[in-house]
Amino acid sequence: MLIKQPPDIRSSEITPKSVYLRRREFIQASAAALVAAGLGTLADEAAAQGGGLAKLPNVKKSPLSTTETPSLYQHITSYNNFYEFAPGAGDGPKANSKNFKPRPWKLQIDGLVNKPGNYDIDEFMKPYALEERIYRFRCVEAWSFVIPWVGIPMAEVIKRVEPTSKAAFVEFTTLHDTARFPMQRTDLLEWPYIEGLRLDEAQHPLTLLAVGLYGEVLPAQNGAPIRLVVPWKYGFKGAKSLARIRFVDKQPLNTWQKMARNEYGFYANVNPQVDHPRWSQAREKRLPSFIANHRTEMFNGYADQVQSLYAGMDLRKNF
């Protein structure tokens, strides 16, 4: 006679999915904490922050800064991408930019504006008050830092140059000078490096023209003497060592889109739901870390401030 056996495990004993998911997160978090503890103690030991470069005067703090602890100066300046100096992240850009001279430097602002100009960089900076903006920085390659930039709000520059009614986009171009940027002698990328923003993105209060880091002038490898910082977008949107800011009516074709349009788009907003074709964007490594110790947030945690810019847009298509 066949007797129906009760199931070995009663359904009440099965761990609900939400609990085991939490358990997995707990294990991951503990491991991350363990790794961070090692690296964190090191961080405490590194007291002095800065690289001994010229201090920037009269920098005021900004309410737009995050309260998160900034990453170490030596990490920010020794682990980043700057293809004009070296391919790939790592200390290549730092090593290859030792002899870089950020002066004399001209910045041209032109295109669809009433007041174009070709400025000496120091003349250009004079009318503006410098602000410290501590922003999260999320690279498209799934690592991140917290960076205390010093800079000029882009909105104020835009106000001053008076874009015409036809201006709809802003194009940012890195200096093309093979004497200063050795990799520009190769065909690693199409030079010069070009990035672009919609005019309303460029006017957003968070958008910054950075001239400093940790209260000092920018080191060469981070984009001296002036670079773009758009904290809700992937790092490659922040064109470095700018020579030209041009106001245009058509969407600029940015360099990485030109290089691989299936992988890099125009918008490049930080978005944990839209993966890079080759890796997930759901999590990130807040460096220094061996593992992805951070959940990536929509618009890099700046959703409250910027999501209205993209109302009604399909962010999967406009990646």
89 binds another protein (CB under 8 A): yes
Is 291 one of the binding residues for another protein (CB under 8 A)? yes
Does 31 interact with another protein (rule: CB under 8 A)?
A: yes
Element (H or E) spanning 23, and its range? helix 17-45
- 228 phi, psi to nearest 5 deg: -90, 140
d(CA 193, CA 184): 10
Nearest to residue 246, comparing CAs of 113, 154, 106? 113
Is residue 74 at the binding interface for another protein, with CB under 8 A as the rule? Answer: yes
Residue 161 binds another protein, judged by CB under 8 A: no
Q: How far apart are CA 287 and CA 143, in angstroms?
A: 7
Give least dist CB 221 to another protein, A: 13
Which structure tokens are listed for 313? 């847009």
Question: Which part of the chain contacts another protein (CB under 8 A), choosing from 85-93, 112-120, 211-219, 224-232?
Answer: 85-93
- Mask 249-268, x = binds another protein (CB under 8 A)? ----------xx--x-----
Residue 225: name the closest of 146, 118, 107 by CA: 107
Between residues 31 and 129, which has the closer beta carbon with respect to another protein?
31
Please, what is the end-to-end C-alpha distance for the chain in angstroms? 64
Out of 34, 46, 129, 253, name the contact with another protein by CB under 8 A. 46
Task: Give the distance from CA 146 to its chain's centroid.
Answer: 10
Residue from 150, 288, 139 nearest 219 by CA: 150
Binders of another protein in range 94-153 (CB under 8 A): 141, 143
Q: Rule CB under 8 A: which residues touch another protein? A: 24, 27-28, 31, 38-39, 42, 45-46, 71-72, 74-75, 78-79, 83, 87-91, 141, 143, 188-189, 259-260, 263, 277-280, 285, 287-292
